[in-house]
């Protein structure tokens, strides 16, 4: 590699590409990649290598406009090196995207951003960890302490957090050692690698949500790319003591602190400055908050509602996924006849209505002939899934106030009204109202360590069994399962699925 002038980071990326290319092209779960041709791995990795070595992209701080692609891949000045047909470029771009080499800038820019070419120098940032946060915001800090320095960690992290990337003036707020992020109402964050430590600072009214997202993203990234680091990194909080105006280098293991506090230990000494700190204060913002406590805080309308609801939604979907991975999780019921009395509801055929799980924009599937299934014997069927249905209804009712404006923004004005989302929830309520109370209670038989109760668990398994029977190929779901960078997945409707896809053009003209 040295002969070709590749830096170790580039070599690492190429190794990943080489290793997986055969697999990715043959068995890709990416519907669009799967349709592409089988190619020679070396020939293909060389194409990515041209991008990673491209000086002009480096000078442009990583921005690679589509208009420059022919120059990089066909009209380059290397003798005896392959020249690639422009028909391949969309495929190459998708491949780079898939391997976190680059991400797409907003559509009108017609460009990708290659994360390994971001500038060396840290740009001017909206705030720094050394400065105090504004009085109305909280800032929490978490440091991932690693026994080894994983090569390429920061560029990879830049790609996987690009949904929150910030552009200021002519520059993006990222550099070789870190990135500054903005997640709208959920706050801002600063991520920076210092030696073998990866620092994460999140600032918001309720920064816990953004911090959770970033921590899970980092955790999944390490698991995906450096499995050898498993068990050799830990999440810590920095010691709050200042020595001669500088922060103490002491670190507290978060998992240990949580254990200590549940054992009744109140204070713990720092091994660097020897000062004891109250554990409660050290863990502030990093406590483990059970789902029912999160829901109670939402109902108490504590500050930072948007982020609290988002955090609750994330946690509940994850808990459900732990029990049942095979199908969509959100649904309501639909009546097929108008004007039924409450007593009649369960004895007439009704419909199961699936919902899209788009973050902060949850809604019933509206595509024609999709996402709706007839239930011929509602009485028996609803009884089986009632405990779970009740949980889902609670989730939907909680996210609905936040989702409504997002739905109108995404699908157009007054969509919430046109779809009459309240009616969906009201009818589900009426259906469950016909069930005996003991079937709806979800706090019975809770297994320790499990988030779902046993009846809830059998409820969702029954739902997935039903979907599997009536729609074994999932052709009528109207939902696509997409993975997230936090290691979860979401079932998205056609429109949200299209919006989720990187905006890579089908044709790139030379």
Site string for Zn ion, 248-287 (x = CB under 5 A): x-x-------------------x-xx--------------
CB of 311 to Zn ion, least distance (A): 20
Cβ-Cβ contacts under 8 Å for 119 (sequence gap 6 or more)? 61, 171, 175, 176
CB of 272 to Zn ion, least distance (A): 4
Name the DSSP class of 147: S
Site string for Zn ion, 304-343 (x = CB under 5 A): ----------------------------------------
The residue (of 245 and 436) whose beta carbon lies closer to Zn ion is 245
Which listed range, 181-189, 356-364, 421-429, 501-509, lies at the site for Zn ion (CB under 5 A)?
356-364
Count of residues that interact with Zn ion, criterion CB under 5 A: 11
How far apart are the C-alpha atoms of 62 and 64, rounded to whole Å?
6
241 binds Zn ion (CB under 5 A): yes
Among 239, 346, 402, 479, binds Zn ion (CB under 5 A): 239
Which listed range, 11-19, 246-254, 347-355, 478-486, lies at the site for Zn ion (CB under 5 A)?
246-254
CB of 363 to Zn ion, least distance (A): 6
List, in sequence order, every residue forming a beta bridge with 363; answer none if it has no partner.
356
230 near 261, Cβ under 8 Å? no
CB of 308 to Zn ion, least distance (A): 22
**Among the listed residues 214, 207, 126, 139, the one whose alpha carbon sits nearest the alpha carbon of residue 173:** 126
CB of 196 to Zn ion, least distance (A): 18
- Integer CA distances (angstroms), 508 to 15, 271, 297, 306, in order: 27, 58, 51, 40
* Residue 74 exposure: Cα atoms within 13 Å on the Cβ side: 15
415 binds Zn ion (CB under 5 A): no
How many other β-carbons are positioned within 10 Å of the β-carbon of residue 290? 10
The residue (of 273 and 435) whose beta carbon lies closer to Zn ion is 273
The residue (of 180 and 491) whose beta carbon lies closer to Zn ion is 491
Which listed range, 203-211, 240-248, 341-349, 483-491, lies at the site for Zn ion (CB under 5 A)?
240-248
**Among the listed residues 44, 16, 210, 41, the one whose alpha carbon sits nearest the alpha carbon of residue 100:** 16
CB of 370 to Zn ion, least distance (A): 11
Give exposure, 367-404, as e/b (b: 16+ Cβ within 10 Å).
Answer: eeeebbbebeebeebbbbbbbbbbbbbebbebbbebbb
358 binds Zn ion (CB under 5 A): yes
The residue (of 239 and 283) whose beta carbon lies closer to Zn ion is 239
How far apart are the C-alpha atoms of 268 and 282, rounded to whole Å?
9
- Integer CA distances (angstroms), 359 to 46, 362, 400, 432, 494, in order: 37, 7, 11, 26, 15
How far apart are the C-alpha atoms of 349 and 359, rounded to whole Å?
31
CB of 240 to Zn ion, least distance (A): 8
CB of 497 to Zn ion, least distance (A): 8
Which listed range, 320-328, 430-438, 476-484, 489-497, lies at the site for Zn ion (CB under 5 A)?
489-497
How far apart are the C-alpha atoms of 439 and 324, rounded to whole Å?
20
**Among the listed residues 424, 506, 133, the one whose alpha carbon sits nearest the alpha carbon of residue 285:** 133
The residue (of 118 and 352) whose beta carbon lies closer to Zn ion is 352
CB of 64 to Zn ion, least distance (A): 31
60 binds Zn ion (CB under 5 A): no
CB of 414 to Zn ion, least distance (A): 17
Cα torsion through 463, 466, 468, 473, rounded to 10: -110
The residue (of 281 and 379) whose beta carbon lies closer to Zn ion is 281
The residue (of 78 and 274) whose beta carbon lies closer to Zn ion is 274
List, in sequence order, every residue forming a beta bridge with 204; answer none if it has no partner.
138
How far apart are the C-alpha atoms of 218 and 193, rounded to whole Å?
12
356 binds Zn ion (CB under 5 A): yes
The residue (of 248 and 319) whose beta carbon lies closer to Zn ion is 248
How far apart are the C-alpha atoms of 111 and 63, rounded to whole Å?
7
The residue (of 172 and 496) whose beta carbon lies closer to Zn ion is 496
Which listed range, 15-23, 233-241, 421-429, 450-458, lies at the site for Zn ion (CB under 5 A)?
233-241
- Chain centroid to CA 400: 20
Which listed range, 49-57, 129-137, 145-153, 487-495, lies at the site for Zn ion (CB under 5 A)?
487-495
CB of 270 to Zn ion, least distance (A): 3
Q: Strands (DSSP E) along 270-398, which ranges?
A: 276-278, 331-335, 350-356, 363-364, 372-375
The residue (of 186 and 496) whose beta carbon lies closer to Zn ion is 496
The residue (of 189 and 254) whose beta carbon lies closer to Zn ion is 254
How far apart are the C-alpha atoms of 458 and 473, rounded to whole Å?
22
CB of 155 to Zn ion, least distance (A): 31
Which listed range, 346-354, 426-434, 470-478, 495-503, lies at the site for Zn ion (CB under 5 A)?
495-503
Binding site for Zn ion (CB under 5 A): 239, 241, 248, 250, 270, 272-273, 356, 358, 493, 496
């Amino acid at each position: 590699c040295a002969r070709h002038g590749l830096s170790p980071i580039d070599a690492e990326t190429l190794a990943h590409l080489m290793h997986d290319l055969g697999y990715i092209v043959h068995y890709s779960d990416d519907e669009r990649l799967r349709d592409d041709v089988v190619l020679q791995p070396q020939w293909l990795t060389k194409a990515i290598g041209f991008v990673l070595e491209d000086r002009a992209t480096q000078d442009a701080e990583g921005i690679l406009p589509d208009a420059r692609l022919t120059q990089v891949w066909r009209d380059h000045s290397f003798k005896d090196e392959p020249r690639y047909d422009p028909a391949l470029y969309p495929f190459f771009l998708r491949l780079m995207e898939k391997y976190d080499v680059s991400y797409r800038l907003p559509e009108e820019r017609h460009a990708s951003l290659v994360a390994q070419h971001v500038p060396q120098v840290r740009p001017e940032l909206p705030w720094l960890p050394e400065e105090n946060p504004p009085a109305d915001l909280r800032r929490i800090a978490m440091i991932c302490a690693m026994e080894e320095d994983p090569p390429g960690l920061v560029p990879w992290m830049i790609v996987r957090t690009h949904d929150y990337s910030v552009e200021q003036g002519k520059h993006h707020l990222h550099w070789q050692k870190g990135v500054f992020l903005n997640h709208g109402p959920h706050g801002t964050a600063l991520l920076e690698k210092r030696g073998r430590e990866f620092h994460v600072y999140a600032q918001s009214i309720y920064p816990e949500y953004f911090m959770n997202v970033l921590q899970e993203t980092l955790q999944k990234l390490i698991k995906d790319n450096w499995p050898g680091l498993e068990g050799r990194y830990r999440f810590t909080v920095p010691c709050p003591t200042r020595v001669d105006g500088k922060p103490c280098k002491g670190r507290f293991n978060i998992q240990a602190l949580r254990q200590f506090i549940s054992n009744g230990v109140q204070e713990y000494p720092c091994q660097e400055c020897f000062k004891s700190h109250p554990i409660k204060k050290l863990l502030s913002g990093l406590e483990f908050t059970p789902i029912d406590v999160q829901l109670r805080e939402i109902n108490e309308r504590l500050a930072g509602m948007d982020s609290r609801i988002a955090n609750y939604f994330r946690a509940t979907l994850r808990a459900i996924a732990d029990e049942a991975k095979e199908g969509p999780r959100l649904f309501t019921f639909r009546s097929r006849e108008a004007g039924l009395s409450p007593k009649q509801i369960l004895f007439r055929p009704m419909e199961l209505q699936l919902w899209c799980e788009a973050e902060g924009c949850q809604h019933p599937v509206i595509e024609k002939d999709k996402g709706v299934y007839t239930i011929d014997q509602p009485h028996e069927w609803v009884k089986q899934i009632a405990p779970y249905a009740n949980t889902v209804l609670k989730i939907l009712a909680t996210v609905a106030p936040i989702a409504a404006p997002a739905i109108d923004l995404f699908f157009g004005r007054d969509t919430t009204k046109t779809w009459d989302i309240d009616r969906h929830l009201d009818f589900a309520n009426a259906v469950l109202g016909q069930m005996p109370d003991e079937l709806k209670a979800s706090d019975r038989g809770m297994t320790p360590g499990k988030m779902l109760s046993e009846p809830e668990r059998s409820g969702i398994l029954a739902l997935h069994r039903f979907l599997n029977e009536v729609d074994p190929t999932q052709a009528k779901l109207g939902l696509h399962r997409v993975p997230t960078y936090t290691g979860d997945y979401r079932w998205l409707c056609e429109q949200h699925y299209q919006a989720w896809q990187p905006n890579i053009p089908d044709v790139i003209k030379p």
